[in-house]
Structure 1
Amino acid sequence: MKNPYVPESRASLAIISRDAPEAVKSGLREHIENIIETIPLVGVYKAISNHPDIAMLPVGYKKLVVAPSVYEYYKDKLEPFDFVVIKGAGEPGYKYPANIKYNAAILGNRVICSQDHLDEIAETELRSGDLQILNVRQGYSKCSLAIIGEAQGITSDVGLAASLREIGYDILLIEHGHIRLPGLNYGFIGGSMGLLSERELLIAGSLTHHPSWGIINEFLGKYNIKPIQLSQEQVIDIGTILTF
Structure 2
Amino acid sequence: MLIISNKASLEFKNFLTDQNIDFIETIDNPNLDKRIADHPDLSIFVIDSDNIIVAEEVYPYYKVKLSSKNLIKGSSVFRKYPKDCIYNLFTFKDFYINNDFTEKNIERSLKERNYKHLFVKQGYSRCSIIPLRESLLTSDYGIYKALKDKVDIILLENDKIELDGFDQGFVGGTCGLVDDKLVFTGDISRHKSFDRIKKACDRENIEIIYPETSLTDLGSLICI
- Say yes or no: does 1:181 pair with 2:163: yes
2:171 maps to 1:171: no
Report Cα offsets for 1:3-57 as digits up to 9, x if no partner.
Answer: xxxxxxxxxx111000111111111122345311000011111221000000111
Q: Write the letter of the residue equivalent to 1:218.
A: K
Higher helix share: 1
67, 78, 81: which one aligns with 1:96: 81
- Secondary structure of 2:148's aligned partner: helix
Q: Which has the higher contact order (CA 8 A, sep 6+)?
A: 1
1:121 alignment partner in structure 2: 105
| CA–CA distance in structure 2, aligned partners of residues 192 and 108 of structure 1 | 22
Q: CA deviation at 1:228?
A: 0.8
CA distance in 1 between partners of 2:20 and 2:125 (Å): 26
- 1:153, distance to aligned residue in structure 2 (A): 1.1
Which of 196, 201, 210 is the aligned partner of 1:215? 196
Distance 2:21 2:120 in 1: 36
Q: CA deviation at 1:213?
A: 1.2
User: Residue 14 of structure 1 contacts residue 32 of structure 1 at CA under 8 Å; is this kept in 2?
Assistant: no
CA distance in 1, matches of 2:49, 2:65: 16
Q: Aligned equivalents of 2:189 and 2:40: distance in 1?
A: 25
Query: Could you list the runs of 4 or more consecutive aligned residues of structure 1 that deviate by over 6 angstroms after TM superposition?
Result: none
TM-score, normalization: structure 2? 0.96
Q: Distance in 2 between matches of 1:118 and 1:50?
A: 20
Asked if the contact 2:119/2:146 (under 8 Å) is kept, the reply is no
3-state SS, counterpart of residue 111 of structure 1: strand
**2 CA distance for matches of 1:18 and 1:158?**
30
CA distance in 1, matches of 2:21, 2:52: 20
Measured in 2, the distance between the counterparts of 1:66 and 1:234 equals 29
1:87 correspondence with 2:73: yes
Mapped to 2, the partners of 1:194 and 1:66 lie a distance apart of 18
Partner of 1:238: 218
Contact preservation (8 Å) 2:27, 2:38:
yes
Tell me which of 177, 184, 192 is aligned to 1:203. Answer: 184
* Amino acid aligned to 2:126: K
Structure 2 residue identity aligned to 1:227 = I
Aligned to 1:6: none
Residue 4 of structure 1 is matched in structure 2 by none
Q: Is residue 105 from structure 1 mapped to residue 86 from structure 2 by the alignment?
A: no
Partners of 1:196 and 1:202 within 8 A in 2: yes
Letter of the structure 2 residue corresponding to residue 182 of structure 1: D
5+ long unaligned stretches in structure 1: 1-12
SS in 2 for 1:118: coil
Contact 2:51 2:71 in 1 (8 A): yes
Structure 1 vs Structure 2 CA RMSD: 1.3
**TM-score of the aligned structures, taking structure 1 as reference length:** 0.88
Structure 2 counterpart of 1:240, one-letter code: S
Q: Classify 1:107/1:38 alpha carbon distance in 2 versus 1 (closer, same or farther; 3 Å).
A: same
Match of 1:21 in 2: 9
Residue type of the alignment partner of 2:71: V
Point out where structure 2 has 5 or more consecutive residues left out of the alignment: none
